[in-house]
Structure 1
Amino acid sequence: MDTTPAVRLDGVSKQFADSYAVRDVTLDIAAGQFFSLLGPSGCGKTTSLRMIGGFADPTEGAVLLGGEDVTALPPNKRNVNTVFQSYALFDHLSLTDNVAFGLKRKRVPKAEIKQRVGDMLDLVQLGGLAKRKPATLSGGQRQRVALARALVNRPAVLLLDEPLAALDLKLRRQMQVELKQIQREVGITFIFVTHDQDEALTMSDRVAVMNAGHVEQCGTPEDVYEHPASRFVAAFMGTSNLMTGTYRGGEIVLEQGLSLPVGRRDGVAEGSAVSVSIRPEKIWLSDFEPGMSVMRGVIRETVYSGPTTTYLIELAPGVTLSALEQNTARSRMEDRWSGGESVELGWKPEHCLVLS
């Protein structure tokens, strides 16, 4: 079985003047994966994508595609295609001609072009609109055309630079599911750039969380969400209750003086300064189990969001935690807590994450 990565970034850096957009990034991306580069604006994710595509040259390091060093090759010599946020469609051409554009430039036989374009438009559910012009389509349909145009060339790797950013929330969520289904069907390696953690969690096989030009953590969506490697990852991946304190004898003594029991943490030295993270959905407000850490607080705010209700609970002056509960079929409005009420809250020790 060939285990050669579809893409390898080997110690890649990109310097602009006296600052680095990307610094010493090493990543292996397996063939057939849906891989996301995730992070805030300016973290280096788009620059990394551009170096893979050949649109930017690394200052240091190497880019390998299928084991071949392509660092010095221009974009048209690399077996990759890119879908940009703007889609870059030709408005004067039909969908068929938009998708066929690259094949015609490669002088692919007409019969093969017709077959491949028809198959690709069917794949993205636009077969019945082949004669339409892009200007007559919705945002989601235009995104599908751009995807079909890139995939019809059968690249080994497809690069996607925030292609869903211009869509409204409902359509974006729909397209997330469709994009993942298409990727599984064609089996091509997708590298997806996004600043939206929900997008990355929904679609990815693996995620690299980037910050200030380097990779903070790389792993499965579950790994980076449930076991963040740093305070930055814990804060960026969804919502987290983050606090700072000192580790002493199985407890975190917060700066405000409150102690949170967390149990022994291997590798955390006694007396060391740490951050602690507890996800809101990991906090229980009733039906506690043996061994849970249970404390008392006061409800300061209740936020109803349809499927869920979030409670802001003050444990002590300056220490407020967010707790999230699902609004299930058994939930009743009158059972929700109100501001000013005293409540108990608890969590399992393994859900209180200590971060150096």
Structure 2
Amino acid sequence: MTLAPEQLWRNREFNLLWISQSCSDVGNAISALAVPLLVLALTAAPVQAGLVGTLGLITTVLCRLPAGVLADRVDRRRIMLICDAVRLVAYLGLGVAVLRGQATLTLIVGVVLIGAAANAFFGTAEHSSLRTIVRPGQLPDAVARNEARSYATSLAGPPLGGLLFGMGRALPFLGDAVTFLASFAGVWLIRRPLQEPRDTERGGHAAALAEGFRFVFGNPFLRAVLLVAAPLNLAIHGIIFTIIVTLQRDEVPPALIGGVETVVAVGGLLGALAAPALLRRWPLPALIRGICWTAALLMSASAVLIHSVAAAIPMAITVFLGPATNAALFGHQAAITPDRLQGRVISVIIVVATSIAATAPLLAGVLITMWGPPVSVLVFATTMAGAAITATTSRGIRTLHPTDSR
């Protein structure tokens, strides 16, 4: 297999893949704001707007594991091209329907479900492709660049979606279609295969998926990481939700409340930009332990500041450390996982590490109602302290050895 160029910024295939996914991310961020605005404009029902978003998230989770199997059995470039084509047609059709005044709630739900499924398959295939186009030693930097892209598009997409929706309700969805067309073009220009040569695998999809689970839970490092990542995601989402609910109950202006997630996202973006420097200074085990203990302390500080927008600052600092840790983690995962298992292993890690976070709003709501916002924050901080103890004592993390960086 031909190795990637020495400098990541000169790696043609990686840059095409990065630009393609950037376009996809912008489209997703635009629709994330425009879809609920459109539902509200048509129905004036916040519950229905929230339901549409929830159905999209559930669809993404449900499709993630099958996407991992498909990414390991089918040409990954073809998967991404099909996903872009499907999303292009779906959002173009929605934009045209809105333009003609023919958009219905049923149509919107259908487009959201199609888009969510395509996002899961595209993203899994894209993550799985890194190992074939990037040198092992460059994998953490490549993941860090992807983290920066994700935070940047999450900051830029919603304002752009709001601007386009204000100019015309159809414009955000027509804009989505343009971003997916650009993504399709980028993937089409990739020349190098995005997977290593494969032997035909026997057995059904269930057996293939089980192999992915066995690899993840059979590896001491990956198993320990899941025991850390799941409570970390739960705590971050739970505390951010607690802050937003508390500020709303305190009648803080909505513009300031909206700034909470902006501050956190800026922290993540800055962390992604600083990730390469942090990776050069600290090895992965130290990063994992560092973010866990730092997060537990900073989250506790948010309990003191909970009735102020300043409560978002400790969370932004916590999130600042996340991209470097994710870059090192997924870089190491990509290096130690055989290419034929990349899709399944990535999908298993993402589903297990993030699914528990879906309960964060409900759990936070119960804690706020029963004991108040400060206790809610401290409960999540305690959960994070438990994860920090796991990161410190886990043999899988303590005995981790660097992979070959050639």
Question: TM-score when scaled to structure 1?
Answer: 0.24
Higher relative contact order (CA 8 A, sep 6+): 2
Question: TM-score when scaled to structure 2?
Answer: 0.22
More helix by share: 2
More strand by share: 1
Larger Rg: 1
